[in-house]
Every structure is written in structure tokens, then in C-alpha cells.
Amino acid sequence: MEKISVIVPCYNEEEVLPLFYEEMNRVAGLMDGYDFEYVFVDDGSRDATLCVVKELAARDQRVKYVSFSRNFGKEAAMFAGFTYASGDYVAVMDADLQDPPALLPEMMDAIKNEGYDSVATRRVTRKGEPVIRSFFARCFYRLMRRISKTEIVDGARDYRLMTRQFVDSLLSLSEYNRFSKGLYGWVGYRTKWIEFENVERAAGETKWSFWKLLLYSIEGIVAFSAAPLAIAAVTGILCCLLAFVFILFIVVRTLMFGDPVAGWPSMICVILLTGGLQLLCIGILGEYLAKTYLEVKNRPIFICKESNIRENDR
């Protein structure tokens, strides 16, 4: 029988896990003809998440878990899930039921009968989300569409069902700074998009602060576009051209009218402007350099503290 692995990144999800397990089981019950495996990745939770997962594992042998030595972030958790999952098909979904497991049969159908390699989901509304957050999210996707060659879809969730081949391709991208929404697009294959209305969290609260999301979006931009570097260079060239015209103007003016000393305020403005621009460009450069630095260190993406999956089981 073919096996579906369901990867669930969990960070402080003790409240919602029992609900998730129940709902997931209900859906798994509907899909006879498939074996299931649930890979819970405990991303260094500080609450009882690991205990809850261990209890589930004691009752149900389909429940597998991997527990990190600290919080490594959702991207690392998903990567660990891909590494440990042994299914013929692999699904990633959030623990908070914002990615409805009930969509799974439909997704499976698209892979089986319509010949897709992966089925992705996007939410068409952002109902229940803070307005400012939605606004910035939308700006981010619009910007990404302009400056990146890889397709990154607005409202795309990480919720996805993939074939083994697709997952193996993802695993072959071993970069440290992972931005899955881009990686999914980068590996290619045929992807079907399913749309659904935003669902609010079943319990607990969101783990993403505005700040964390902002840093994550910068990661996305740096990982999938070199446009900021080009913009910096073009701005530099424009400034030089402007300065050149200005120099000509001043030389001509001095030759014709002499040189009364004036213009101190305007000079300060120009100095501040160019100084600021230089710092900005160095900052952009530094961002790429920092990412490269982290990448060449070649550190592992996650560290597993304990797990009930034996290495040779994978």
C-alpha cells in the first residue's frame, strides 16, 4: 500500500495538537487505500508539545516525532520533516488546523488522476489577520513578482502535497537560508493550485511576530533575487550623472559670475544624501555577504535531540 507522510512543524502547540490529531485521523480514515505516517517536528518548544506528541506516539505507531535541540524555525522543521519522511507522498501542514486536512483527498486525487507532481494551496482571503500585516504581505508578494524570476504566489501557504520525486528534489537543495515558497517554485514540476478561505487558528496563538515576518521576507528577497544589488548600482550611476551635470553647472557659473561663498545648507543636504545612499548600498551588499557567510559555514540546518525514527528506517 502506498504511504502518505504528513509533516507537522510544531512550536509551542500543546493546546492544538490533540485537535489536530483528531481531525487528521478523521481524514485519514476517509482515505482508505493509503497508509499514513505523521511526522511531528518539535521545533524546540518550551511547553508540553513534546510530551503530547510522545503520548500520541505511545498510542499510535503511525506517529513519528523529531525533536530539535532548540528553536530552529519553521523552515528547518519542514526540512527535517522531508529528511525523515518515508512516504511515497509527502504533505506539509501547520498544526493549528489553518491548513485544513480535509483538503487532502482532493489533493491526492489531483496527483493520482490528473498527473500533477504537487498540489499547493493558497488562501484567497486574509480574513481575521491584522490589516497592517495583510498590507505588507501583499506588498511583499507584488515586489517579489517584479524582482524574482522564480514564481512566488500571493497567499500561498506552505500546505502542500508532493510526490517522492518532488521531495527528493527539494532535499537536494541543501542551502542554509531556506525560503520554501521560492524553493517549491524553483524545483519546477507541475503544480496544481487549490484555493480556500482563510481559517482562523483552532487554538493557541501565532508564532510569527511582525518583526519575524519582516526578517523572513528579507530572507526571501535575498535568496531569490539579486535585484537589490542592481538597484544599488543603478542608483550609484544616477547619482554620478547628477553630480557630473552639477559640476559642469558650477564650473560654468564660477567662470561667468565669480565665486561668492554661499550654499552651505545645500552642501550639507548633498553630503547627507550621498552619505545615506552609500550606507544603504553597503547595507544591501552586506546583506548578501552575510547570507553567503552563513552559507559557506555549512552548518547543519537543524540538530535533532531525540526522535523515535531510527536512521535506517528512513
Site residues for ligand UDP per CB under 6 A: 9-11, 13, 43, 71, 73-74, 77, 94-96, 98, 206-208
Q: Does 98 bind Mg ion (CB under 5 A)?
A: yes
- By a kind-dependent CB cut-off of 5 to 8 A, residue 13 interacts, out of Mg ion, ligand UDP, none, with ligand UDP
Interface residue with Mg ion among 96, 99, 158, 219 (CB under 5 A) is 96
Amino acid at 311: E
Which span sits near Mg ion by CB under 5 A: 98-106, 174-182, 278-286, 298-306?
Answer: 98-106
Q: How far is the CB of 313 from ligand UDP (least distance, A)?
A: 22
- By a kind-dependent CB cut-off of 5 to 8 A, residue 9 interacts, out of Mg ion, ligand UDP, none, with ligand UDP
Is the torsion defined by CA of 220, 226, 229, 234 positive or negative?
A: negative
Amino acid at 41: V
| 25 vs 274, beta carbon nearer ligand UDP | 25
Q: How far is the CB of 197 from Mg ion (least distance, A)?
A: 14
Phi/psi at 248 (nearest 5 deg)? -55, -45
Q: How far is the CB of 129 from ligand UDP (least distance, A)?
A: 8
What 3-state class would DSSP assign to 159? strand
200 pairs with which residues across the strands?
A: none
| 193 vs 208, beta carbon nearer ligand UDP | 208
Whether 153 and 121 have beta carbons less than 8 Å apart is answered as no
Is the torsion defined by CA of 99, 105, 108, 109 positive or negative?
A: negative
| 8 vs 221, beta carbon nearer Mg ion | 8
- By a kind-dependent CB cut-off of 5 to 8 A, residue 152 interacts, out of ligand UDP, Mg ion, none, with none
| 13 vs 117, beta carbon nearer Mg ion | 13
Is the torsion defined by CA of 255, 258, 259, 263 positive or negative?
A: negative
- By a kind-dependent CB cut-off of 5 to 8 A, residue 71 interacts, out of ligand UDP, Mg ion, none, with ligand UDP
Query: How many beta carbons lie within 10 A of that of residue 256, not counting itself?
Result: 7
Rounded CA-CA distance 214/220 in Å is 10
Q: How far is the CB of 110 from ligand UDP (least distance, A)?
A: 23
123 pairs with which residues across the strands?
A: 196
Kindly list the distances between the CA atom of residue 96 and the CA atoms of 15, 24, 82, 187, 243, in Å, as whole numbers in the listed order.
9, 11, 19, 27, 56
- By a kind-dependent CB cut-off of 5 to 8 A, residue 107 interacts, out of Mg ion, ligand UDP, none, with none
Rounded CA-CA distance 130/136 in Å is 10
Count of residues in contact with Mg ion, rule CB under 5 A: 3
Q: How far is the CB of 206 from Mg ion (least distance, A)?
A: 6
Phi/psi at 12 (nearest 5 deg)? 50, 60
Which span sits near Mg ion by CB under 5 A: 13-21, 92-100, 162-170, 298-306?
Answer: 92-100
Rounded CA-CA distance 199/128 in Å is 8
Q: How far is the CB of 231 from ligand UDP (least distance, A)?
A: 29
Please give the residue ranges that form the binding site for Mg ion (CB under 5 A). 94, 96, 98
